[in-house]
Chains A and B, each alone.
Chain A
Amino acid sequence: MNDRTQVRDLFDGLLSRKGDTRGFEDSESLILSGRLESRDTVEIVMFLESHYGVDFSTTDFDQTQFDTVDELLNFIAANRS
């Protein structure tokens, strides 16, 4: 499974848990638009740690970097270990 599919699956799972099955584009805002909540960020962080070995004890982020599929892919490219 490539990175894009994995990231889409992650967002898809978070959204469908809220009953949101509208679908989304890779460039579509998901957190700042209110479809996901800031507390979902924790799950995104855990996903990044377990799948890509991102070390958050040394890595900074803010929510704007996790807002779309494309942005999260950029974050992964810059921070995977």
Chain B
Amino acid sequence: MRSILLVAFNTFREAVRDRVLYNLIVFALLLIGASFLVGQISIGIERQVLISLGLTAISLFGVVIAVFIGVGLVSKEIEKRTIYTVLTRPVRRWQFIVGKFFGLFGTLVVNTFFMAIGFFAALALQAHRLQWADGWLVVALWFIVLEFVIITALALLFSSFSTPLESAVFAFVLFIIGTFSEDLREFAQAAHGLTRIVASGAAYLVPNLAALNVVGRVAHDQALPPSLIFYNTIYAALYATAAVAAAVLIFERRDMK
């Protein structure tokens, strides 16, 4: 157990010192600033625009960061052979993978925190105050974090067996498909025969990012049902667990060529 924490902390430390990370956060903050300005132009819906574009910016940049770091773990470490001297110590391979995951998760929470601060600052600036409805924005941000957790776990999974480039591509593709997972499920329901079976399988295997996307709703200050918060949190935990378990299975067997 201690090994897991050690790996996690080291992963966090290594990720946090990577300069590219800061660049991406800066970009996200710039985009939030831009949405603030755009909002000023569209009379009457400044708040909506700020929330829609701001949260979308955080979500997209966060996914880029998640994939970027997630792929950097394992994949880059194997390529650069950094991993040789770690794995030959009394750490089990599965502990290494699990530790990596938690380190990355910590990194993403910290990232989102900084981006969220920028976001709420812009919001307060626009409205000159914070209001109750802003509480739902926190939920939206939490869902975005859950999105990151899932994408990270997937990036880690792909890293355990493919090259950095392949892993990044796979993770992004799954992100996009996951956003449309609802449509995929509807399509599966309307299909017949073999298509239906294959589509259903895919539809439930693909991450359910559609349910985590509440930007439209919170932009209109609509309430979110508590059960949704509960289900989504559990879902993200389960999905990430599945992905990490799969990563462990693959990684335990992999030859470090």
Q: Is B truly associated with A?
A: no
- Which positions in B face A, CB cutoff 8 Å? none
